[in-house]
Amino acid sequence: MTNTIKVQRAVRNITQEDLAKVIGVSRQTINAMEANKYIPSTLLALKIAKYFEKKVEDIFILETND
């Protein structure tokens, strides 16, 4: 799974720390998600999507090996 969190942050001009505070996680969690080293829970993915006013699918992209 990949994501567009870094791009979404750039559009809103917010830091990892800013996003972390809003959704209630650490900056390290945001960093790990952006590096594709951490897959968020459904609840966390929904919080992030809601914050950016996007669909979950617009932020988190499932890559399949079909």
| pLDDT at residue 66, as a whole number | 60
Cα end-to-end distance, the chain, whole Å: 14
Number of domains, the chain: 1
Residues 6+ apart with CB under 8 A from 31: 16
Q: What is the CATH number of the domain that holds 57?
A: 1.10.260.40
pLDDT at residue 40 tops 90: yes
Q: Residue 27's domain spans which residues?
A: 2-61
Q: What is the pLDDT of residues 2-19, one digit of tens each?
A: 999 999 999 999 999 999
Give the pTM.
0.90
Mean pLDDT of the chain: 95
Residue 23 covered by a domain: yes
> What number is the average pLDDT over the span 48-64?
94
pLDDT at residue 64 tops 90: no
| pLDDT at residue 36, as a whole number | 93
60, 1 contact by CB (below 8 A): yes
